[in-house]
Structure 1
Amino acid sequence: MFSVLLVSSLAFATPRIIIKHATLVDAANPVRENMTVVLQGDVIQSIAESGSVMIDAQEDTIVDARGKFLIPGLWDAHVHLTFIP
């Protein structure tokens, strides 16, 4: 029974997205070049130097970000305190 559950859960595992050779920019760390970010679902699974991450070319979606910058999500956080509905 357990092996059937294990096999069925692996069949429905969320595929990984691999963003490789990116330049990472964030406010907390120095700029890091040639990095690989591994996403699984909506979770950042790992961040490591490119070449040190195991990639499955048949299962993973691979994005070559060479020459590109990867930054944290940005959003508009301003408010209108004087606005009265």
Structure 2
Amino acid sequence: MAGRAGRYPPEYREQPVELARAGRSPGSLAREFEPSEQTIRNWVRQADVDEGRRGDGLTTEARRELSRLKRDNKRLRVERDILKKAAA
């Protein structure tokens, strides 16, 4: 499963997150579930942000919206540049 971010479905992430919250170490979970210790720590942190337990990050929904807006902004800049060249 090598590749890009987001390769593990949310359903897969739930179990290691709950076990980590119950006191299991990220190291033992990494050996059992495959992702690295840091990945499991990141999942727990993101789940805490999404559920309002932490306030020091963007929720998953806010991250998606930010990505969408950046993509739209990039597309609009390209379109603007094309129109500038066509008008010149």
User: Which bin holds the TM-score, normalised by the shorter protein?
Assistant: under 0.3
Q: Point out the structure with the larger helix share.
A: 2
Work out which structure has the larger RCO, using CA pairs closer than 8 Å and 6 or more positions apart in sequence: 1
User: What TM-score, normalized by structure 1, do the two folds share?
Assistant: 0.25
